[in-house]
Amino acid sequence: MAERITIDRARPDEAEWCAAVMADTDPWVTLGRTYEASLVRLKREGSELFVARRGDVRLGFILMDRYGVAGSPYIASVACTAEARGRGIGSALLEFAERLYPDARHIFLCVSSFNAEARRLYERRGYTLTGTLKDYAIDGADEFLMTKRLDAR
């Protein structure tokens, strides 16, 4: 039987690993975010970083801002290692985020206009388009703000 995935708060030394994953993964590659800029973002005050693992193997992470959009949780970043993509890790991280703050009624995230695969994942998970931020991070690429209504608690 395969070992199950666990998602826990990142250990103090894991922000560096997460920054390396970000700096080597789209959309951040296309957006020009370096390892150093990723590390700053991952350590920003008010953010909460969680890592998905199977045993001792790190598979991905999710960065949360509890009150990020209109007082509701915001998924600031989510990423999986190349080896973990397409294996349900992203969905597990999203499900984790959706349960993290039991008092929340909505959860938000942004997805880059060129990141169609991620947008399809979010739509399959019930996220809908809320608005478009034109040329937000880089010229020629929009960010789509998406939201999901969470179940009544």
Q: Domain 5-149 class?
A: alpha beta
Cβ partners under 8 Å of residue 60, min gap 6: 21, 51, 52, 78, 79, 80, 81, 84, 89, 90, 93
Can you read off the two tokens belonging to residue 94? Answer: 């999203």
- Reported pTM: 0.93
Domain coordinates in residue numbering, the chain? 5-149
Query: For residue range 35-68, what is the model confidence (pLDDT) as tens digits?
Result: 999 999 999 999 999 999 999 999 999 999 999 9
pLDDT at 152: 55
Cβ partners under 8 Å of residue 57, min gap 6: none
Distance between CA atoms of 25 and 32, rounded to whole angstroms?
Answer: 10
